[in-house]
Amino acid sequence: MLHADAPGPYGHLGHLGVTPTAHGGRLRVYSRHATRMELCLFDPDDPNWVTEAVEMRPNRHHVWSAEHPDLRVGARYSIRVDGPDGPTHAFDPHRHLIDPYARGLARTSSGEWRSYVQNDDFDWGGVPKPGIPLDHTVIYEAHVKGLTKLNPAMPEELRGTYAGLAHPTTIAYLKDLGVTTVQLLPVHQSISEQRLIKQSLTNYWGYNTLNFFTPHAAYATRHAQFGGTGAVLREFKGMVRLLHEAGLEVVLDVVYNHTAEEGLDGPTSSLRGIDNASYYRHTADGEYIDTTGCGNTVDFSRPAAQRLVLDSLRYWANEVQVDGFRFDLMATLGRDRHAQYDPSHPLLQAILDDPALQGVKMIAEPWDVGLGGWQVGNFPAGYSEWNDGFRDRARNFWLTDAAAGRHAGSAPEGIGSLARRMTGSAHVFAAERGPLASINFITAHDGFTLADLTAYDYKHNLGNGESNRDGTDNNRSYSFGVEGPTDDQRVVADRRKAMRNLMGTLLLSAGIPMITAGDEWGRTQRGNNNAYCHDSELTWHSWDRAGWQEDLQRVTARLLALRRANPALRPVRYGKWGETVPSATQMDWYNKEGRSMTMLDWDSPSERTLQYLAASTPEFEEFNRVLLIVHGLEESVEVTLPSHVGVTGYTLLWDSSHDDISGIEPSHVPGERLRVGPASMLLFRAHGGPAAGPGSGGPGVESPADGDG
């Protein structure tokens, strides 16, 4: 088991959890305020029968330990902890608690949890991690169960499981689509909140973590669930190995900011009973300081909580071989002892500096719900961040601006703010971080799906049991005139083109794109924008798809192929005016007449047409140049293709006005006038070599300032 000492002030917290010894095993648990702690061992056949209680002893660093010859693989155990009374304490010497470092968990018939010593043996067969460079990375955010639960092409017992995710049909689908990195919604063992259980609902997404080291057992096959010690973990590792063999990465969505113990009246299962005062944020009178909206907040100003996260990351990255982590509500992990966010927080820096985590992808959800919680662009270099500004601008441009144009006669703004987002959000991320600091997305697990963005003006969450109060009201969506399903062919056509435009904006922009699983074929949740509590066909993926859904899937695969083939679309660095920066993209901007953009062209709501030439500055790949036309008005426009030094012609690669461009003339020349359809995007390959000398700029250099933070 991996318990290497972490850098910084954590050495005295090394080797927590169970470590095998020559004479059984040793358990070490941190509690600063406990006055007594004991290790309880259970009968192998009855997890309610304590066969032995072993007194644990503390050292001067408040680490309690005990050894026992029966603390071996398969042993079930718990911790019982006593301590002082007081508003910040929750000790109960009779309660059986989970070891925070437990590698395995089992539930009793009465609903309690027992830790067990995991069998972590596994033959990786020499399969390495794929090591996909960030500029080639395309993230596919998926739910382990939902992705394959309804897939008829695999045996029923594998559907909705780790094994199902690694089934040849799933891997073939992901490879054919062209994504590189599967980002899994939480797979740490989780439970449903007490409120949901009372409503006969479930926390399907899994953002309610019970333990940071144990894979969620319900996602394993029944064979693994009843296969003895280590079987679930072996299935998980087998999934990782098979995905790696196929060249696909695995990133885990990890929830360290809070735990399943909820508020003070929630279930006490581990950290609260071990040392509530040390692990959670609270006021002097014992009330929790909640920056997560989930009842409690882990206090990462304290070394024990920091060390817990580092050890969990090391375990999954090394022993389980995952490729990266997406940190839920990561602003919480950067809050100091005053609960204020600090970009130089020791935990944020320790994650980046840890030798055992080098080369691992680190992705921040850069906000939480506390005061000062929105921190987009304010994480240290080394993290990529979810860019909600990209999401909002793309939705505005193609959806709410279209609604405003129809209802008010004009869109509220020009094309400048979208251009800045598409070329890397240089006004958000520091120059040394570059465009790969931005995780671009249109949708995510929470919120409308891509199809629902174009079909609903309002959320429809009555099935969530909260009278439609939950979920955001700020969807930036547009139904194109009819709420929900319709047979109106004009509305249907507008919706499908809007989906193509949104997907094109995502996949042709600088930064790291993230596709929400199912968006590539138009998955709907029937207007529910917060479907976290539905483990049903509402959230599972249908594999029985209509013709238009297959068309959208082919468009997505085509866009991903174009992204791979054109390095000008995926710069590593920001360009600089008058300089040639390796692995940046040189930009030249033109209006619909093929002339240099003016401020009116950037800002005017009536001039929402942009052409930009993007030329790579080769470092590892061949020179490449493309022309992208973005037209954001609902009437067609005549565009003059730009004349540029070194450009001899243009070949049409994609046009969002059509599902298929095979019947359209592809070859064009500079200065040619071209009719561009309403509200559409076109991508061309620009032929000819690079012009002599440095280019005109890079992402964000030539585009106008906008006021969107």
Are 642 and 682 contacting, i.e. CB atoms less than 8 angstroms apart? no
Sign of CA dihedral 365, 369, 373, 375: positive
Axis crossing angle, helix 547-565 with helix 489-507, rounded to the nearest 10: 20
Mean pLDDT computed over 200-209: 97
Q: Does residue 22 carry a pLDDT above 50? A: yes
Q: Does residue 500 carry a pLDDT above 60? A: yes
The pLDDT of residue 690: 82
Confidence grade of residue 695 (pLDDT, cut at 50, 70, 90): very low
The one-letter amino acid at 579: E
Are 470 and 464 contacting, i.e. CB atoms less than 8 angstroms apart? yes
User: Which percentage of the chain shows pLDDT scores above 70?
Assistant: 96
The pLDDT of residue 9: 53
8-state DSSP, 333: G
Give SS3 for 603: helix
The pLDDT of residue 642: 98
Catalytic residue among 275, 365, 519, 607: 365
State the distance between the two ends of the chain, measured CA to CA, in whole angstroms.
45
User: Which percentage of the chain shows pLDDT scores above 90?
Assistant: 93
Q: What is the pLDDT of residues 145-194, one digit of tens each?
A: 999 999 999 999 999 999 999 999 999 999 999 999 999 999 999 999 99
As a whole number, the mean pLDDT across the chain is: 95
Q: Does residue 5 carry a pLDDT above 60? A: no
The pLDDT of residue 4: 41
Within 13 Å and on the Cβ side, how many CA atoms surround 115? 27
C-alpha to C-alpha distances, 660 to 178, 349, 554, 654, 669, nearest whole angstrom: 18, 48, 9, 8, 22
Q: Does residue 692 carry a pLDDT above 90? A: no
Residues 6+ apart with CB under 8 A from 605: 410, 411, 412, 413, 414
Alpha-carbon span 695 to 387, nearest angstrom: 27
Confidence grade of residue 689 (pLDDT, cut at 50, 70, 90): confident
C-alpha to C-alpha distances, 485 to 456, 475, 527, 548, nearest whole angstrom: 9, 18, 10, 14
Q: What is the pLDDT of residues 509-546, one digit of tens each?
A: 999 999 999 999 999 999 999 999 999 999 999 999 99
Q: What is the pLDDT of residues 54-111, one digit of tens each?
A: 999 999 999 999 999 999 999 999 999 999 999 999 999 999 999 999 999 999 988 9
Q: Does residue 699 carry a pLDDT above 50? A: no
The pLDDT of residue 703: 46
Mean pLDDT computed over 113-127: 96
Mean pLDDT computed over 132-154: 98
Alpha-carbon span 313 to 501, nearest angstrom: 37
Catalytic residue among 193, 235, 299, 328: 328
| Cβ neighbour number for residue 414 with a 10 Å cutoff | 25
Per the annotation, the verdict on 621 as an active-site residue is: no
Alpha-carbon span 513 to 438, nearest angstrom: 8
Q: Does residue 1 carry a pLDDT above 70? A: no
Alpha-carbon span 552 to 572, nearest angstrom: 28
Per the annotation, the verdict on 328 as an active-site residue is: yes
The pLDDT of residue 262: 97
